[in-house]
Structure 1
Amino acid sequence: MGSFLSSLVNPDADAAATDANSAVIAVHSKEAWNDHWIAHKNSNKLLVIDFSATWCGPCRAIEPTFKALSARFADASFVKINVDELSEVAQRWMVEAMPTFVFVKEGKEVARVVGANRDELEGKVVQLMA
């Protein structure tokens, strides 16, 4: 009940709590992406890339789910890329709609979820972490 009341007083309280627990890495430059990619591409660790845009309503709607998954699956790496900032990276990954979530292991794409489907996104993370 306390969290319900606090959400009425501060509707962003849940978002702030999610942000504090989030392990999402926001990449804002091609150099930062290249550094992250080089460090990760030979790893068996799951990399989940969220290609989105600030103006995209479905991207904003699924963002809390993506952040919650990053907190829940600490053994995976969750990265957020704004397609307007890093259009070359989005083109390299053939992103044609937003949001697009690309799942990578050992430098290779192993799955993709296009659209803001919470169940499909969570299911794919669970499947690939098993």
Structure 2
Amino acid sequence: MPPKKQQELQVTVKSQEQFYELLSGKKLSIVDIHLTWCGPCTLVSSTFRSIAMKIEEWDSRLQFLIVDSSLVPDISHHQASCKPKFLFYLGPKLIGEVSGVNVPKLQQMINRYIPGLDSE
């Protein structure tokens, strides 16, 4: 039996249209907004992985989106410095944000807003 294909942890958004398409579902979306030249901003994959691995059926309840703020003009105003910023969306609605890689605050926001297992 071949090994099970590993679920992709994060989606790199390539356009504003793709961004809004991804937000159209019922998942909690954690959007890592940054500029591609910002080294610290691009190193959060391990943080996403450690958060996701603690959540039952995470892939049906939340998604991690990586967005270069220059590619999605509608959210570029959220990126004011070379510091990661995370926007939280429930469907298309912006519900919160966290500045910097503050893992306890990220986890708190996820726990607060993640849809339940039965909210299909």
Tell me, yes or no, whether TM beats 0.5: yes
What is the one-letter code of the residue matched to 1:114?
A: S
**Corresponding residue SS for 2:44:** helix
Residues 58 and 122 (structure 1), Cα distance of their counterparts in 2 relative to 1, 3 Å cut: farther
Compare the two structures and name the one with the higher helix fraction. Answer: 1
Partner Cα distance (2:45, 2:20) in 1: 23
* TM-score of the pair, normalised by structure 2: 0.68
Residue 10 of structure 2 corresponds to 24
RCO higher in 1 or 2 (8 Å CA, sep ≥ 6)?
A: 2
Residue 47 of structure 1 corresponds to 29
Identity %: 23
Residue 41 of structure 2 corresponds to 59
Partner Cα distance (1:62, 1:36) in 2: 20
**Structure 2 gaps, min length 5:** 1-5
Per the TM alignment, residue 68 of structure 1 is displaced from its structure 2 partner at its CA by 3.5
Aligned length: 105
Deviations 1:64-122 (A, max 9, x none): 102443454321121110123x151333x633233111111142211100112222222
Deviations 1:13-50 (A, max 9, x none): xxxxxxx554211111233223323x33xx3x211111
Residues 108 and 34 (structure 1), Cα distance of their counterparts in 2 relative to 1, 3 Å cut: closer
**Corresponding residue SS for 2:78:** coil
Aligned residues: CA RMSD: 2.5
